[in-house]
Amino acid sequence: MVGSVGNGLADLGAGAVSMNGVGKALHPAEAAAAAETLPMELEPPEALVAAAVEAEAEAKREEAANGRREIVMGRNVHTSCFAVKEPDADDEETGEREATMASVLALYRRSLVERTKHHLGYPYNLDFDYGALSQLQHFSINNLGDPFIESNYGVHSRQFEVGVLDWFARLWELEKDEYWGYITNCGTEGNLHGILVGREVFPDGILYASRESHYSVFKAARMYRMDCVKVDTLMSGEIDCADFQRKLLQNRDKPAIINVNIGTTVKGAVDDLDLVIKTLEENGFKDRFYIHCDGALFGLMIPFVKKAPQVTFKKPIGSVSVSGHKFVGCPMPCGVQITRLEHINALSSNVEYLASRDATIMGSRNGHAPIFLWYTLNRKGYRGFQKEVQKCLRNAHYLKDRLKEAGVGAMLNELSSTVVFERPKDEEFVRRWQLACEGNIAHVVVMPSVNIDKLDYFLNELVEKRATWYQDGISQPPCIARDVGVENCLCGLHK
């Protein structure tokens, strides 16, 4: 019966090729026939994990080879998959299917442990313990539609959701009866929502966003058929308000919808919200603009950074979004979206045309996410987050300093825990540490789950490997002056 769970143990054991599942039979009869020709002995778990890692590496090499790593669409490459197969007729008696599935899951779990341990490049806080919530996993919890409009479906968690929204509204200084919001599926949904609200407020508005904005902002422009103007950035990654002014003046007749980054994806740069507002008001856009703040990661950190310019609804902003799986930490992606109730009211004036029961992007919504967030917010509170933010900033400085001491060019923005540095030469090393790269630079995002020990482990490995990469004296570390400025580059020319 081994082999009846597609790409289960036996298939995994056969290595990368059979993991592809290409041409794998799905019909039970075919599966049975295939089982006879497959190697029957099971390789030890280590080999299986190694095979999975190798399959992944192969996919990466292939991608690197076609040179379109950054933007690639329209593919259907089955590099590795656990195919679904029809149960055999006697599965219920033998229990073998259950056992095989359990083995696949146990192996998968093992690889997750390994991958979680070597994780530095993405802004996800992997340090959470939601054991107390596992009792809720077997309920189908769904907050359909609007958090403030009860549905007849009783298995929801709106009471947790609204508690979480209140907490964020208070954080960003919007009165309880003046906000509207909901818990989203991710940061992208927040951006999609904020920009849509902006467009509904100013239907002929032009969307402005810096070049280093998250790609979901440009995706929104295309989805919503909005004119979009890309604004240049400073070396730090912040929006260049001189260029912003130039572009505003080229479009004086149209209102402005602006995406302001509270921490860009690559450099963790915080756009100067006050300067953006000043630029708008001084160039004839007073009362003719809508600002959406994309606070994906840093929206929840900046309130706890001393002397940082604050994101607050006391300033003329329209909406703020933040991810829940980033700084808070959550098993699945989620986010929080807060906007002014008056904007949502404006939408609802045209409700018959909208023909929608609610003002969210999604209909059915994950009811578990609000409970995860509620749990962590209650446990940590403002004070807890403040401590964690301080720790992250401290550790980020440590990493940057140690990198520079070791001769590695690096940059850390003042308000950020994202350390940008020269891209490691070896792709294997990049994958191992799951570093996000762009051109010549890579970054580590120092999250609460990243402590000094983990950074030392990484630093030591980097320094050791780097010595071998450049030992021939011919290869040289890449110049990153164009990305992070001459003062932060330590290449042959600039050191």
| β-pair type (436-438, 410-412) | unpaired
Q: Which is nearer to a copy of itself, 258 or 369 (CB)?
A: 369
The Cα–Cα gap between 318 and 338 comes to 9
Q: How far is the CB of 49 from a copy of itself (least distance, A)?
A: 12
How many C-beta atoms surround the C-beta of residue 155 within 10 A? 11
The Cα–Cα gap between 47 and 16 comes to 11
How many C-beta atoms surround the C-beta of residue 389 within 10 A? 22
Q: How far is the CB of 473 from a copy of itself (least distance, A)?
A: 30
Tell me the backbone φ, ψ of residue 443, rounded to 5 degrees.
-145, 155
Q: Which is nearer to a copy of itself, 242 or 346 (CB)?
A: 346
Q: Which is nearer to a copy of itself, 93 or 177 (CB)?
A: 177
Q: How far is the CB of 274 from a copy of itself (least distance, A)?
A: 27
Task: Assign 3-class secondary structure to 380-449.
Answer: HHHHHHHHHHHHHHHHHHHHHHHHHHCCCCEEECCCCCEEEEECCCCHHHHHHCCCEEECCEEEEECCCC
The Cα–Cα gap between 62 and 399 comes to 32
| β-pair type (179-184, 319-323) | unpaired
The Cα–Cα gap between 86 and 261 comes to 48
Q: Which is nearer to a copy of itself, 351 or 493 (CB)?
A: 351
Q: How far is the CB of 423 from a copy of itself (least distance, A)?
A: 12
Q: Which is nearer to a copy of itself, 136 or 479 (CB)?
A: 136
Q: Which is nearer to a copy of itself, 345 or 476 (CB)?
A: 345
Q: Cα angle vertex 430, ends 427, 431, to 5°?
A: 90
The Cα–Cα gap between 366 and 383 comes to 28
Q: CA torsion, points 213, 216, 220, 223, in degrees to nearest 10? A: 140
- Terminal-to-terminal C-alpha distance of the chain: 63
Q: How far is the CB of 238 from a copy of itself (least distance, A)?
A: 19
**Residue 274 CA, distance from chain mean position:** 26
Q: How far is the CB of 281 from a copy of itself (least distance, A)?
A: 28
Strand partners, 443: 420, 436
CA nearest neighbour of 21 among 99, 142, 104 = 104
Q: Which is nearer to a copy of itself, 90 or 274 (CB)?
A: 90
Q: Which is nearer to a copy of itself, 109 or 482 (CB)?
A: 109
The Cα–Cα gap between 194 and 204 comes to 16
**Residue 327 CA, distance from chain mean position:** 11
Q: Which of the following is catalytic: 4, 216, 321, 416?
A: 416
Q: How far is the CB of 295 from a copy of itself (least distance, A)?
A: 15
Residues in the chain: 495
Q: How far is the CB of 248 from a copy of itself (least distance, A)?
A: 21
How would DSSP label each residue in 245-304?
Answer: HHHHHTTTTS-EEEEEEBS-TTT-PBP-HHHHHHHHHHTT-TTSEEEEEE-TTGGGTGGG
How many C-beta atoms surround the C-beta of residue 95 within 10 A? 12
Q: Which is nearer to a copy of itself, 150 or 405 (CB)?
A: 150
- Judged on CB neighbours under 10 Å (0-12, 13-18, 19+), 46 is exposed
Residue 416 appears among annotated catalytic residues: yes
- Give me the active site residues, please: 416
